[in-house]
Amino acid sequence: MDCKKLISRLLTVVFLVFLSTFVTCAQHTEHNPDEITTQEAEIDTLLKQDHDQKDKEFDLSAFILHHVGDDYSFHVAGKTYVWLPVIIYDGNGFDVFSSKELHFPDQTTHLTRGKYYYHHGKLTIPELDEHGHVKMDEDGDPIGKTEAKLTNMASPNVFFNFSITKNVFGLFLSMLVMFLIFISVARAYKKRGTDVAPRGLQNAMEALIVFVKVEIAEPFIGKEKTPKFLPYLLTVFFFIWINNMLGLIPIFPGSANVSGNIAFTFTLAFLSLCLVFIFGRKHFWSHIFWYPGVPVPVKLLLAVLEFLGVFTKPFSLMIRLFANITAGHIIIMSIIGITFITQNYIVGGVTSVFSVVMFVLELLVAAIQAYIFTLLTAQMIGAAVEEPHHDHAKGEAAHH
């Protein structure tokens, strides 16, 4: 027994030392210019130009924001990148090229393919002056066509960006993972039938699916109506969970911060809101616009509040998921970043341990956030599809 304990402790120590060497190795390569060959040095200067690093000081907040945000390429380690395709539609036709060309633009004009200007993570099609230089406004932003957004879509001065960015790649990856898991589980049920005890992956997924059905859907939506909404709830649950966990993988296939992207969480919350609007019953709307059993002035006041409540619920869903996941990523990055600020071996070891602890906590948060999102969606849908009760007081008690 003691021997086992000793071995496990030894293994832990070895593992920690192993981890801290990673961090210290990273320090070494960062600050040992002798080892860099000329070609690498060239790439280095280009990259430095690209990121506009005037001082060599490590800028932690820029580093964190860069990794939390979306990007055209995956930064794996050091000078290793995974380049993703950039797809632009500028009204005349599609332009498809590798994001590597964005990072290494033409030396004299600083343009990619003669027209695209990439600066501070922003892609533009700038206007050029007579010397072939990019025209800038007083803020230092290039003048010309910018990326289309919801607010300026109709303007002629935009181009449409359909690039496979990190987040888009992350979405495709989680889609693939979900297809692989659920097709294999569905096949297992088809092959062996539903009467036999589940095995392997099928067993694991059955436990989770039954959990979503019994613990999340049925208490809020009711047994009869659950089958109608269960597919959506299951999709949301597993999609968020898998995306959260893929985001925690620090290297290439994961590392995209998909569920920490406000557009992603907005879409999911918007779909939940759509379900409320599509399936909302008369009983639900009457409770919002003309609350029964209270005087008329109170009815009017409640109508305003309850109508706002319809929108604030999905809004808080959106913010909660976005903020939780982004905050988790920022905390892990900050802890790791302390090493690069202090540049100390001991601190490297300590922060390694800390980041492992934070990763474990984030695994828990990944599951809890998927659970909360699904549960609150079920609650919203449940309130919307509720049938009127004969015993009113009882019905009120049931859904509060």
Partner 1 sequence: MSNLMGTLLEASYGPLGAGIGAGLVAIGAGIGVGLIGAKAAEGIARQPEALNEIRGTAIILAAFVEGVALFAAVICFLAMGK
First vs last Cα of the chain: how many Å apart? 52
Residue 118, phi then psi, degrees to nearest 5: -115, 115
Q: Does 367 bind partner 1 (CB under 8 A)?
A: no
Q: Does 375 bind partner 1 (CB under 8 A)?
A: yes
DSSP 249: -
Order of all β-strands in the sheet with 158-161: 94-98, 85-89, 158-161, 144-147, 122-126, 117-119
- Number of chain residues interacting with partner 1 (CB under 8 A): 13
Q: Does 368 bind partner 1 (CB under 8 A)?
A: yes
Q: How far is CA 94 from CA 88, 91, 125, 132, 141, in A?
A: 6, 8, 14, 24, 25
In the bound state with partner 1, the residue whose beta carbon lies nearer, of 273 and 375, is: 375
Among 323, 338, 356, 398, binds partner 1 (CB under 8 A): 323
Residue 64 Cβ, how far from partner 1 at the closest point, in Å?
A: 11
DSSP 33: G
Give the residues across from 45 on adjacent strands: none
In the bound state with partner 1, the residue whose beta carbon lies nearer, of 215 and 396, is: 215
Among 371, 389, 395, 398, binds partner 1 (CB under 8 A): 371
Q: Are 381 and 229 in contact (CB under 8 A)?
A: yes
Residue 372 Cβ, how far from partner 1 at the closest point, in Å?
A: 5
Binding span for partner 1 by CB under 8 A among 48-56, 163-171, 265-273, 320-328: 320-328
Q: Regarding beta strands 117-119 and 94-98, do their DSSP bridges make them parallel or antiparallel, or are they unpaired?
A: unpaired
Q: Does 100 bind partner 1 (CB under 8 A)?
A: no
Q: Does 302 bind partner 1 (CB under 8 A)?
A: no
Helix axes 345-385, 2-30, angle to 10 degrees: 100
Task: At 117, list the tokens.
Answer: 């200007």
Binding span for partner 1 by CB under 8 A among 18-26, 128-136, 198-206, 366-374: 366-374
Nearest residue to 208 via CA among 168, 178, 228:
178
Q: Does 320 bind partner 1 (CB under 8 A)?
A: yes
In the bound state with partner 1, the residue whose beta carbon lies nearer, of 174 and 326, is: 326
In the bound state with partner 1, the residue whose beta carbon lies nearer, of 122 and 187, is: 122
Binding span for partner 1 by CB under 8 A among 44-52, 110-118, 181-189, 364-372: 364-372
Q: Are 333 and 67 in contact (CB under 8 A)?
A: yes
Binding span for partner 1 by CB under 8 A among 1-9, 42-50, 173-181, 322-330: 322-330
Taking the C-alpha atoms of residue 362 and residue 250, their distance in angstroms, rounded to an integer, is 13
In the bound state with partner 1, the residue whose beta carbon lies nearer, of 177 and 323, is: 323
Q: How far is CA 64 from CA 8, 55, 68, 77, in A?
A: 34, 17, 6, 15
Residue 379 Cβ, how far from partner 1 at the closest point, in Å?
A: 9
In the bound state with partner 1, the residue whose beta carbon lies nearer, of 246 and 370, is: 370
> What is the Cβ-side half-sphere exposure of residue 315, based on CA atoms within 13 angstroms?
5
Q: Does 215 bind partner 1 (CB under 8 A)?
A: yes
In the bound state with partner 1, the residue whose beta carbon lies nearer, of 10 and 62, is: 62
Q: Does 324 bind partner 1 (CB under 8 A)?
A: yes
Taking the C-alpha atoms of residue 315 and residue 265, their distance in angstroms, rounded to an integer, is 9
Among 36, 43, 136, 327, binds partner 1 (CB under 8 A): 327
Q: Does 347 bind partner 1 (CB under 8 A)?
A: no
Among 82, 177, 338, 372, binds partner 1 (CB under 8 A): 372
Which stretches of the chain bind partner 1, using CB under 8 A?
Answer: 215, 316, 319-320, 322-324, 327, 368, 371-372, 375-376
